[in-house]
Amino acid sequence: MSKESFKVKVGLAEMLKGGVIMDVTNLEQAKIAEDAGAVSVMALERIPSDIRKDGGVARMSNPHMIKEIQDNVSIPVMAKCRIGHFAEAQILEALEVDFIDESEVLTTADEHAHVDKHPFKVPFVCGARDLGEALRRINEGAALIRTKGEAGSGNIVEAVRHMKMITSQIIELQDADLSKKAEEFRVPLDLVEEVAKNQKLTVPNFAAGGIATPADASLMMQLGAETVFVGSGIFKSDDPSERAHAIVKAVTHFKSAKDVLAASYDLKNAMKGILMSDIPEDEKFSNRGD
């Protein structure tokens, strides 16, 4: 795939900046999300908190459900494939979803390799906990990086950890031996050099995993995220539509505490959330994929 086509993929990620991407499980939720000002919806059968609760193997969503949403909203529609499951990705591309999330929220299909994303026309977003992971995904062809956070937890702590880790590791590149870093990250030197020089990933950098309130969204934006994904946080709350509107407003005006306050003022209860210490290590979504 040529450099030009890669720019077309990153181009859509650029359009999504300063916005909120919302997980939705049916058409009704997709319409609520669009009406509230979502820049995109992620169509999936079960939101992460339910995947966590239900157990079993989590796969790509039923194409029929994705298609129904595509046919009825005008904003871009994303869908998830399992890590390494390139056949699911091919199906999602044939369905013409606008972005594929190769996601740790679904059960891993290949423990040794992610999807080779270069041959695809559809852009991919991938999760990362640190700079090495982000660069490996970009090197495989990801057009957008998001923090992994801990999906379905309603707990922002992991997204904060991952965003700060990536940011600090980019700063550290200024005084580092870049060849050693490239070796450590298992990516080509020129990619590391470009990130060191621009002090920025080569693709947009969004936040995901555990965002439940306007304040969480503002926090992630202030930490350097360019857009936020909200998964379980909206439709597991007591007031999905109001909360969706509020988080959209908080992202646009993230620097203005008064606006974030106004957005937060009349909301009911957020999702309950889970402490990281209550999730066994082997059940953490963020440990999937490297």
Q: Which residues bind another protein (CB under 8 A)?
A: 4-5, 7-8, 11-12, 14-19, 34-40, 70, 74-76, 93, 96-99, 121-123, 245, 248-249, 251-253, 256
Q: How far is the CB of 213 from another protein (least distance, A)?
A: 19
Residue 179's Cβ-count burial label (10 Å; 0-12, 13-18, 19+) is exposed
Judged by beta carbon, residue 31 or residue 284, the one nearer another protein is 31
Contacts of 165 (CB under 8 A, 6+ apart): 129, 130, 131
Q: How far is the CB of 18 from another protein (least distance, A)?
A: 4
Judged by beta carbon, residue 75 or residue 135, the one nearer another protein is 75
As a three-state string, the secondary structure of 47-77 is CHHHHHHHCCCCCCCCHHHHHHHHCCCCCCE
Asked whether the beta carbons of 92 and 60 are under 8 A apart, the reply is yes
Torsion 56-62-68-69 (CA) sign: positive
Q: How far is the CB of 87 from another protein (least distance, A)?
A: 17
Judged by beta carbon, residue 208 or residue 279, the one nearer another protein is 208
Judged by beta carbon, residue 102 or residue 158, the one nearer another protein is 102
Q: How far is the CB of 107 from another protein (least distance, A)?
A: 26
Which positions are catalytic?
80
Q: How far is the CB of 10 from another protein (least distance, A)?
A: 8
DSSP 136-159: HHHHTT-SEEEE---TTS--THHH
Beta-bridge mates of residue 99: 78
Asked whether the beta carbons of 254 and 264 are under 8 A apart, the reply is no
Query: How far is the C-alpha of 261 from the C-alpha of 279, rounded, in Å?
Result: 31
Paired tokens of 66: 């994705």
Judged by beta carbon, residue 176 or residue 262, the one nearer another protein is 262
Query: How far is the C-alpha of 206 from the C-alpha of 257, rounded, in Å?
Result: 21
